[in-house]
Amino acid sequence: MTTIAVLGAGKIGEALLSGLLHGGWSTADLMFTERYPQRCEELTARHGVRAVSVPDAAATADVLVVAVKPQDIEPLLGELSPVLKPGALVVSLCAGLPTKLFERELPEGTPVVRVMPNTPMLVGEAMSAISAGAHARPEHLELVEGLLGSVGKVLRVPESQQDAVTALSGSGPAYFFFLVEAMIDAGILLGLPRAVAAQLIIQSAVGAATMLADSGEHPVTLREAVTSPAGTTIMAVRELERHGVRAALLAAIEAARDRSEELGRAHD
Ligand SMILES: NC(=O)C1=CN([C@@H]2O[C@H](COP(=O)(O)OP(=O)(O)OC[C@H]3O[C@@H](n4cnc5c(N)ncnc54)[C@H](OP(=O)(O)O)[C@@H]3O)[C@@H](O)[C@H]2O)C=CC1
Ligand SMILES: O=C(O)[C@@H]1CCC=N1
């Protein structure tokens, strides 16, 4: 069995560990590193996965998944480089960071796969996009597909598209959460109890997402089916257009793409 070490088990690192465990991986095949002992104890208590040092992770794991903030990458790679086993696969989940940064800081020939996942991996519904670095071979991509396939869907993309992917699906769940939060507030505005508003909106989101995923219909067709002539929905749609919600989404996602590019350039 492949052994996986998550280097930096914060939000996404913990989501990956938890998703892998739910996807049938064994605690014996998983490990993580973290900076502070208290965080290590919390994670081990929650998931039964062991905390290790970076040298121990490098000595025992077949795959090292880097999940620290982009701003923290250099010290981690400095620690990892001298202890990395030849042939070990390095998988980066870091927004913006190009594979060439890892290849520059790690021993010559290290295979690197860049991944942009998202937090729904916690419930086995991640969308992950993967790109090979210069030394990653087909079997490395297949290994990463297998790993991430146990926590959701996986797509191969050219690395040049990863900043756009980060802005769309990496950050994407946050946009939906934001929308749900605002719609629940609208229910409060209309005088509904918060718990009722939350149930109405969350189930509507689940239903809409399931229709999008299962029907194969275009979102426009699905929206049109809700929008009755001279009815309620068209009144809401007119307000969404009047307030520039579509333009706001385009600008927001472009800003996220620009930030991803900027995070990468910071390490040139
Ligand atoms: N959150 C998300 O939805 C997604 C995040 N990502 C990417 O994943 C990475 C992590 O993001 P996120 O999980 O949100 O961030 P977090 O800050 O929650 O997680 C990073 C964790 O790594 C720890 N850490 C930092 N340096 C080291 C080190 N040298 N050794 C061990 N642990 C270390 C941090 O500790 P401390 O808190 O003490 O600094 C923290 O617990 C980022 O690069 C981000 O771009 C990608 C897709 C989605
Ligand atoms: O906000 C971020 O930078 C990370 C990357 C994608 C989602 N969260």
Per residue of the chain (268 residues), give pLDDT as tens.
Answer: 799 999 999 999 999 999 999 999 999 999 999 999 999 999 999 999 999 999 999 999 999 999 999 999 999 999 999 999 998 999 999 999 999 999 999 999 999 999 999 999 999 999 999 999 999 999 999 999 999 999 999 999 999 999 999 999 999 999 999 999 999 999 999 999 999 999 999 999 999 999 999 999 999 999 999 999 999 999 999 999 999 999 999 999 999 999 999 999 988 7
Check pocket membership of 118 for ligand 1, CB cut-off 6 A: yes
- CA–CA separation, 259 vs 218, rounded Å? 30
Q: Would you say 70 is a known binding-site residue?
A: yes
Ligand 2 atom nearest residue 174's Cα: 7
Quick one: 180 and 136 in the same domain?
no
Torsional class of 40: left (φ above 0), alpha (ψ -120 to 50), beta (otherwise): alpha
Q: Is 68 annotated as a binding residue?
A: yes
- Residues 259 and 146 both lie in one domain: no
pTM (two decimals): 0.96
Q: Are residues 96 and 188 in the same domain?
A: no
Q: Which of 107, 129, 158 is the last residue of a domain?
A: 158
- pLDDT confidence of residue 137: 97
163 occurs within a structural domain: no
Query: The CATH number of the domain where 217 resides is what?
Result: 1.10.3730.10
Are 185 and 146 part of one and the same domain?
no
Residues 121 and 13 in one domain: yes
Q: Is residue 108 part of a domain?
A: yes
- Determine the Cα–Cα distance for residues 66 and 58; give it in Å rounded to an integer: 12
Question: Is the domain of 199 the same as that of 233?
Answer: yes
Task: Specify if 183 maps to a domain.
Answer: yes
Q: Which pLDDT score, from 0 to 100, does residue 107 have?
A: 95
Same domain, 183 and 254: yes
| Judgement on whether residues 26 and 136 belong to the same structural domain of the protein | yes
Domain that holds residue 78: 4-158
90 & 204 share domain: no
Q: How many domains are there within the chain?
A: 2
Write out the E strands in the chain.
Answer: 4-7, 30-33, 50-51, 63-66, 89-92, 112-116, 126-132, 152-156
- What CATH number does the domain containing 63 carry? 3.40.50.720
Q: Say whether both 258 and 221 belong to one domain.
A: yes
- CA neighbor of 64 nearest in space, from 46, 42, 87: 87
pLDDT of 116 reads 98
> Of ligand 2's atoms, which has the minimum distance to the CA of residue 69?
3
Q: Any idea what the Cα angle at residue 119 is, between residues 63 and 248, rounded to 5°? A: 130
